Each structure stands twice: as C-alpha cells, then as structure tokens.
Amino acid sequence: MTGGTVALAFSGGLDTTVCVPLLKEEYGYDEVIGVTVDVGQPESEFAEAHETADALGVDHYVVDAKAEFADLCFEAVQANASYQGYPLGTALARPVIAEAILEVAEEQGCTALAHGCTGKGNDQLRFEAVWRASDLDVIAPVRELGLTREWEIDYADEKGLPVEAGNEGEWSIDTNLWSRSVEGGQLEDPGYEPPEDIYDWTDAPSDETETIDIEFEEGVPVAVDGDEMEPVPLIEYLNDLAGSYGVGRTDMMEDRMLGLKVRENYEHPAATTLLTAHEALEQLVLTKDEREFSQQVSQQWSEKAYEGLVDHPLMDALNGFFEGTQQKVTGTVTVKFEGGQARPVARESEYAVYSADAASFDTETVNGIEQGDATGVAKYHGFQSRLANASKPELAPDGGDEASDE
Ligand code: ARG
C-alpha cells in the first residue's frame, strides 16, 4: 500500500470527482485533498467544487492566483501572443494552477499530486511539466486507468458520488480571466455551426458602436478612458464592455500538442481588445525591422506558452527581446468596437517613429533631404531584376512536348 496524502487538482466535475475514491481504492492513498485555483472562473464554480468536496469528505483548498495570472496575461500582450488565432487563456493558466497546487501539497505534507486530465489533451502535459520538477509522485487516474465518460457515470452512480447534472452540461467549458473555451458534444463535429447559447461572455454583434482609449506603459495596459486600473479589474472591465459588442469570438480547428486536430470555440473580448491595441501602438513606435523580427519571437513565445512551458529557458531569452522593444511601447490607442470587432482608430506616443513633415506631400525639405534625392534610388531600384530578365535563356519553342505521353 502506498499510504500518505495526495493533492488532487479539483474542479468538482465528473473526472475529478471519480478520481477521489479511485486514488484510495486503486492507488492506496489514505487521504485525498482537493485544490481549486482561482484564475478568474465564475464564483459559482468554487461553491460547486466546495459542495462536492464536502459531500466526498475531502478537505478543499481554494488558492487565489488571479493577480499572478493577470500578470502573465499582460506578458502575453507584450509578446502579441496567440496560437493559431487563440489567445492562450487555458494554456497560460495551467502552469499557474500547477504551481499553486504544488505549493499547497508541499505545505500539507503530501507525497503525490494528481489531475483528472485525459490522455488526449494538452492539459496533462502542462500540469506534469511543472509537477515533475518536484519530488512528489504524479498520478493521472483517468489516463492511467483508461477511463471513459460512460464508465465514470456508471461508477459515480454505483458509488453514489455527488455528480449533479449541474456540474456536467452539454459542453466542456474552461473559464479564466483571459478566455472562455467551449468544446465537446456536438461541437466536436467541424461541420456543426455552434448555437448562440454556447456564448456567455459575448452578445451577438449589433449595429451599436463605442470608442475607448487604452493607455499602455512599456507594453502593459494601465488605464482605460483615463481610469488607472490594476490588471485583474482592467481585464474584467474589458471582458464585460467588449463582450457586450460581440468582440472576441473564435471558432477554429486547433492542432493539439499530440497532433490531434480539434474543433474549439473561444470567447476572449479583453484579450482581443488589448492585443489589437498593443499591436497598433507597436506599429507607431517600432521600426520595420523590429516589427518583423518581433513576429518570429512572438511565434516562438506563443508556441512555448501553448505547451505550458512558460519557465523554459528559451522564454527568458525571448522575454529579454521584448523587454528591449517594450520600453518604447508607451502611449494611447483609441479602439472602436464595431460589428464584433475591436478596431484601432487612433494612436499616439512620445516615441512615435514618425515624421509628419517627412511623410507629407506639402513639405519640401526635411533633415536636408528633398524629393529629388529619391531619383538615384529610383534608378537603382529593380536594377538586378532588369539585368537578369534581359539575359534570360529563351524557352525552346516545342519545349515540354517531349515530356508528354502523346
Ligand atoms: N484546447 C485549449 C487548450 O488546450 C483549451 C481547452 C479547454 N478545455 C475545455 N474543457 N474546454 O489550450
């Protein structure tokens, strides 16, 4: 017998609920504690988790990691991060959750950590990437025992486990400050158009519009319409506001880490608004070369974040690049919510790489450069291409015929 106490990542859903008796019966632990980490889920989820834990006779811990998570979301803004068009809410939350659970487990003298993830998704990999750096054992009952949803429902029924219809709706939903993900059920069919009721954060776009100012300091959003806000309330405020204009819906095919393609639906009004505004400000303050190279850095950052590897040494290096560029990303962007979009309509910064005089048709000379100076550049432009085209070998008149079958 194994004995000791195991800390379980606990949501109160079917998977984690059946894990509780299984960790005792199948794995031989004496005690299970449940840990739920607050990364901005709806309040009702904590009450439900608490009730379920109570009914199972499990000590339940709730850890508030919202502020820490919001800081990571703002690092993602600085990095213009998105994976295949998804702003990475679930992916960014997992390492934060895993760390918080590990801390509770160590404080409570646990010898093992467990999660209820299946063997098909990304989350098992993200949790374990963090946990396997500790000395504690890592257990994944759903994956290791090959459980199916049907088996879990029968087992819960047989054992009289507290699984109400309330915790298991039609879709599988994962919510945090940065995004709300809806998957499963009929949505698994890529050809099925989602009904309006999968959406909770966004209204269907209407004809109404609204314009807001977002202020950034070194790439970090700090105020909306002149009101300074901490990261958590700022994100919550924009989720509400932009969501009411239908901003931030994504319906996509996603390539998971294991290679599976899955159909995903997301809502992320604040993320869309902030990422759009941030990029608009970078267009003003960064040079063309910085912007182009930044896209490659951003791609790598997003890839690692999707894999749940925010503490990968490469991330430190990539963050080093952003630290440099973000020094200039200070200023204000005006965003218009219109037709389900957050569209930048104005931007200003003291670091603008922009000379109104140089770009204007009305000014003769700027910094000693005048229009006529471009003549030499125009003569050279395309020179190599003209040379190459002039000496191109002619195609044989009946060339290609020899290769045909006729
Ligand atoms: N596919 C996304 C990811 O791996 C989100 C999955 C969220 N889970 C859910 N049950 N809705 O980041």
Those residues with Cβ within 8 angstroms of residue 78's Cβ, 6 or more apart along the chain or in another chain: 219, 220, 278, 322, 326, 329
Question: What is the number of the ligand 1 atom nearest to the C-alpha of 126?
Answer: 4
Backbone angles phi, psi at 148, to 5 degrees: -115, 165
Residue 389 labeled ligand binder: no
Q: Please write the tens of the pLDDT for every residue from 57-71.
A: 999 999 999 999 999
Rounded Cα–Cα distance for residues 63 and 20 (Å)? 19
Q: Please write the tens of the pLDDT for every residue from 94-129.
A: 999 999 999 999 999 999 999 999 999 999 999 999
Write out the residue limits of the CATH 3.40.50.620 domain(s) in the chain.
Answer: 5-174
* pLDDT value of residue 399: 56
Residue 298 labeled ligand binder: no
The candidate with the shortest Cα–Cα distance to 247, out of 193, 211, 194, is 211
Write out the residue limits of the CATH 3.90.1260.10 domain(s) in the chain.
Answer: 178-348
Instruction: Specify whether 123 is catalytic.
Output: yes
Q: Please write the tens of the pLDDT for every residue from 246-281.
A: 999 999 999 999 999 999 999 999 999 999 999 999
Q: Please write the tens of the pLDDT for every residue from 82-94.
A: 999 999 999 999 9
The candidate with the shortest Cα–Cα distance to 8, out of 35, 40, 26, 38, is 35
Instruction: Specify whether 398 is catalytic.
Output: no
Question: Can you tell me the mean pLDDT for 289-301?
Answer: 98
**What's the chain look like in SS3?**
CCCCEEEEECCCCHHHHHHHHHHHHCCCCCEEEEEEEECCCCHHHHHHHHHHHHHHCCEEEEEECHHHHHHHHHHHHHCCCCECCECCHHHHHHHHHHHHHHHHHHHCCCCEEECCCCCCCCHHHHHHHHHCCCCCEEECHHHHCCCCHHHHHHHHHHHCCCCCHHHCCCCEEEECCCCEEEECHHHHCCCCCCCHHHCCCCCCCCCCCEEEEEEEECCEEEEECCEECCHHHHHHHHHHHHHHCCCCEEEEEEECCCCCEEEEEEECHHHHHHHHHHHHHHHHHCCHHHHHHHHHHHHHHHHHHHCCCCCCHHHHHHHHHHHHHHCCCCEEEEEEEECCEEEEEEEECCCCCCCHHHHCCCCCEECCEEHHHHHHHHHHCCHHHHHHHHCCCCCCCCCCHHHCCC
* Residue 41: band (very low, low, confident or very high) from pLDDT cuts 50, 70, 90: very high
- Ligand 1-lining residues (CB < 6 angstroms): 90-91, 122, 172-174, 181, 183, 254, 264
Instruction: Specify whether 82 is catalytic.
Output: no
Q: Has residue 345 got a pLDDT over 60?
A: yes
Among 71, 134, 137, 172, which one carries the catalytic annotation? 172
* pLDDT value of residue 406: 45
Among 38, 82, 94, 249, which one carries the catalytic annotation? 94
Residue 16 labeled ligand binder: yes
Average pLDDT, the chain: 94
Ligand 1 atom 5 nearest Cα: 90
Question: What is the number of the ligand 1 atom nearest to the C-alpha of 83?
Answer: 12
Instruction: Specify whether 132 is catalytic.
Output: no
Ligand 1 atom 2 nearest Cα: 90
Q: Has residue 400 got a pLDDT over 70?
A: no
Q: Has residue 189 got a pLDDT over 80?
A: yes
Q: Has residue 402 got a pLDDT over 60?
A: no
Topology of the domain comprising 178-348: Argininosuccinate synthetase, chain A, domain 2 (3.90.1260)
More confident residue, 184 or 112: 112
Among 38, 82, 123, 249, which one carries the catalytic annotation? 123
The candidate with the shortest Cα–Cα distance to 287, out of 344, 331, 352, 346, is 352
Topology of the domain comprising 5-174: Rossmann fold (3.40.50)
How, if at all, do strands 249-255 and 261-267 pair?
Answer: antiparallel
Rounded Cα–Cα distance for residues 35 and 50 (Å)? 10
Residue 14 labeled ligand binder: yes
- In the numeric block, which tokens belong to residue 21? 């008796």
Among 15, 174, 249, 302, which one carries the catalytic annotation? 15
* pLDDT value of residue 361: 73
Pocket test for ligand 1, best of 183, 303, 304 (most atoms within 8 A of CB): 183
- State the pTM of this model: 0.93
* pLDDT value of residue 73: 98
Residue 10 labeled ligand binder: yes
* pLDDT value of residue 68: 98
